[in-house]
Structures are given as structure tokens and as C-alpha cells.
Structure 1
Amino acid sequence: MTRTTEPSSSGSASASKSSSGGRRRRRHFLASARQLSRTQAVLLGVVLAIGAIAFLFPFYYMVIGALQAAPDTTVAGALPHPMNITFGNFININDRINLGTGLLSSAIFTGGVILCTVVLGVLAGYALSILQWRGRGVTFALSLLVQVVPFQLLMVPLYVLIARNYGLADNYLGMILPFAINSTAVLIFRQYFLQIPKELFDAARVDGAGEFAILRIIALPLIRPAFVTVLLLTFIGPWNEFLWPFLITKEQTMQPLAVSLANYISTVAASTTNPYGAILAGAVVLAAPVVVLFIVFQRYFTSTDIDSGVKG
């Protein structure tokens, strides 16, 4: 007769103990991992908070200094007495240089540069990335080479060409022309165009669409992040530009706010009761549009899934 051996109760008990012990170890490991992740999150939040405070403190100090009636250049001035807060510095500097006129000139100058940069940058980027023509690589290399040439080297010949030959001194067009094309914008648009699948362009050409129609209907909607990037990068340059508008303009009504503020600092500020606060007030007005622009458009700094336009 054959004997059937049944599993012993001691074996099953030891297996059950080992299984429960394994579950306890896994639970302990998961709890430790969660605790470690919480600690890492807290440390990351502390580090980011310290970095944000260090980054924002100069802006905060600039605003507080612009609102102080009596100047306090020490560290304690970062927490002024409420009775020392006033808008008198903005009124004083506006009486001397007219902040509204300076902002309008800066807006016209910057808006013209942005318009020219976007239009010419899109056309050049499309031509250098999508169209096939002889000398395309050499042209792109030359556009990159322009970036290594300092603008100060070109300033004297540009002044002679624009102010004397073209007679565009004290003219918004004379301020805009040297910045009308930006090689960085061309590079950004070119790289975005290269990410678009070529099948989209080939299909549009088969349907009989011209290049301008392809650019307007297919390409431009797919590179919206590039527009925001170029807009912000282009805005900062002409908005804060001082040297070229200072050379090309002599009429105060046409000078951008950066030039007017520099003239105020060098000539008028010493005669005011609170020159420190007035200068900071002008700096606040000059920096406010840039800060607002970044806050409004920061959510658009996302990449688009342009490959979704092509079926697999």
C-alpha cells in the first residue's frame, strides 16, 4: 500500500510566519520610503523658498525704497515704518521727466522691434528650415556668426548710415531699424519648424497649397510657444536699451523711459529732496511692464505635441 504524507502543521506555521514577516518588512519599507519622500519634499520646499526670497528681495527692496518719504539705505530700510510710506517719489519724478511720455516712447520703440523681429524671424526661419535652396547652410551659418559681433562695433557706421545718410535722427524708424532682425529669433523659429513632421508640408503641397498658405495654416499654429519665447526675449532688449536711443534721439519727447531716467539721474536727481527714492520710483515704472509680461505669459512656456498632427 502507498502512504500519503500530509504536510505537517509545523511546516505550514513556519511558512505563514515567513509570509507575515515578509509583509511586515514590505510595509516597513514602504513607510520608510513615504517618510523619506516627505522629508525630501520638505527640504526641496525650503530650498526653493530660500531661493525665491533671495531672487525677489532686490525687487522688493526697490519697491520699498520707491515708497519711502525719507531715504533709508540700510538693511533696516527693508521694513520701513508705515508713516514713512508715500507716493511722493513717483509724483516728483513724473514732474521732471513725464513718465507717461517715456512709457509711450518705450512702447512704440519696443512694439516696432517686436513686430519686425517676429515677421522677419518667421519668414527667415521658415526659409532656412523648410525650403530647399542653394546656399541655405551658408546663410544660416552667417546668421549665427552675427551673434558674436558686438553691437558697439557697428554703432558708429549705423549712426552714420541712419542719421546722416537716411536722415532718420529723432525718428522712431531710426531707433527700430538696427534691431529689426534678430538672429536669435531666427534660430528659435528655425528649430521649431524643424520639429514639425515633413509629411504635413508634403500633404499640403499635394493639395495645391502655396508656401505662404502652408506657413499660415499649418506651421504657425504649431509653433505658438516659439512666439511667446521670442516675444519675451525680444521685449527685454529694446525696453531696457539705452545707448542707441540716446545716440539717435535728442528730443526729450521721443526718448524712451530708460534714456529719460538716465538723464534724470545724471542731471536733476541731485537737486531733489529724495533723489534715492525718485530714482527707485523710475526704476519701478521701468521694470513693472517686464514683470507683468512674464507673469501673464509664463503659463505658455510649454512644448506642443506637434507629432500628434500625423497619424501613425
Structure 2
Amino acid sequence: MSSPGSYAKGYVRWTAGGKRVMWDGNRWQQLCQIEKCLKRDQKSQGVCLIHFREQQENKLKTKTKKFKIDERPETNKSDKSRKSSQSKKASIPTRSKRIRSNNSLNGSTKTSQISPSKSHRSSRKLVLVCSSLTRQQLSQIELFCSRFSARLSNQIDETTTHLIASEVEQRVCCLTKKVFFAVAYHVYVVGHQWIEECLSKQTLLNEESYEILGDASLSSQHNGMHRSRLVREPIFKSYSYTIAVECSIGCQQGMFNRQELEELVQLSGANLLQEDNRNDLDIDTTIVVLCDDDDKLVMKKYQDIKNKVHYVIPEFFLDSIVLYEVQPIKGYELLYQIE
């Protein structure tokens, strides 16, 4: 096999293991397996984010058609049971009943009024943000907001209560920009199934049974979203890290720009290194520079600083956010720094 140096930058080939890769001048990058697509693979998925969403949308359409066919007989039965019980209600005094979250699993009677579960009666108004949902799923979100007096927003901020994420498998989602911000803001990250079940049972169910456990890139069960929501403390608060954002292309296929990364740094509890506070650094502070893996010039910018400096790829910071555990710096340091 030829050495990497003999390949031109941008050269694409198939590996013996059936993977499609491209030489970027320094290392092989795994590409989407769809022919002619030059976007990076979403690690364990085999395809890029765009093609992955298309595949999920096609699967959902098939699943929805099957659900509608199975749903019709149950609807007819419930109509008959309501008619037969109307004559009894006229003579027998009734009292209001609470709808439990698991009642309708056994086909028990539903009430026409929507009754929020006990855990939500005293809570603040629900503010939802959606991530990678299909049009049909978004329609259900709008219906949910109408029935439960919730508000739909496009941006995650301090008022957001829930991020509704598209699931690649049960309680596992794709990493999107909104997922990172949801973890940083300590809000619920739940699968769209929560919306479906709440509409089906006509009550607000406990989110914990639908909370996302992991993602398709790092681990399917890292529980970072859950830890963030319970701890509600900035992940880097107890670390003497000052983070500088020097990467030009961001990461995760260019998902973040510089301004967004800086906002995440501030939300994470770390100090953001800027020109105006560069001279005010404590000598014991460790500087972590997020930079591109082929940018050797960035080291010259911090040569005059006496503090300990680590040059890492942006994934050090982002993996720490979504896992809600500060990762070892050594695994993300740039090779030319180590050498």
C-alpha cells in the first residue's frame, strides 16, 4: 500500500473494510458512504447528517402508515363504549378522576378533558425547541402546544424547558447544535415519542421515561443530558481553565461558528480568553486553546504567555459538554504540540 504522502489532498478511496475515506493532507477522514457525497460520516452511522435524516424520515413514513392502520379498530371500539356508558352517567353521580400516565397502556377509558400529571401542575409554562424533526413530527408538536398551552421556540435560552430531539433509536439522538446548547442550559432533552404519548393519553407524562440517554456519535448511554439537568452547575466551574477559541472551521462538519463556541464557553463556566483580559490572567490558570488540527501558526500567538497552554481540537470542549464530564486533555492535544 502506498504511503499517505503519495496521495494528493482530496483523494477519495474505499478501504478494505468497505469504508469511503478522503485524504485531507494530514490524515484519512471517513466520508459519507453515499457516492459523490463529500461530507464527513457521522462516525458510527456510515452516512452524513443530511443523508441520515433522509433515511430516518423514510423510516418514519413507513412506521406512521402502519400505526394508522392498527389504530382504526381501537377507535371504533372506544366510540361504542362511550355510547353505552352515556345512559349510565345520567343516573349515577360521578366525580373527577385523575388520569395516570400508564392507564391507557391497558386500554382503559380516556377522558375528553386534558389533565396534566401531578408533576406538571405547579410547573412553569412549557417552552419547546425542536431538533431534526420531520414535517409530520413538527405538526404533532404544534398540536401538543395547542392542547397543553406550551410555546414553540426556534432558539434555546434560559426560558427553554424541553428540547424535542429526533431519535435514531430508542432514547438515542444525533448530536446537533441545539443538543449542545440544551445540555449547557440544563434543560430536558427528550425524544419525540414523549410528544406522541402525551397526545395519545391526553395528559402530560413524566419526561424521565423518554429522556435521551446518549447519542449516535459518542455513546448510546452516557447519560450526559440527565446529569446536566440534575446537577445544574456549569461543567467547567470548578476548573481553573481559561479557554481561547482560535478554530476557523469549528467542528462537527462546521456545525459551530466562532461566536457560538464562545457563547458555549461562557455557559460552561470556563473563562473566555480575549484580548482585553489577556493581561489579567492568574499565573495558576491553565489556558486551553481550541484550534484547527492543521493550524501550526496559532502557537506563535501564545508564546509570550507564561501560563501553561494546551492546544486541542474543539472536540475536547464539545465532548465534555455533551457527556457532562470534563475529558482528559491528553486525548485531544494536537500532534505537532506533543512532538
TM-score above 0.5: no
Bigger strand fraction: 2
Higher-Rg structure is 1
| TM-score normalised over the length of structure 2 | 0.24
Higher relative contact order (CA 8 A, sep 6+): 1
Q: TM-score, normalised by structure 1?
A: 0.25
Relative to its length, the structure with more helix (as a share) is 1
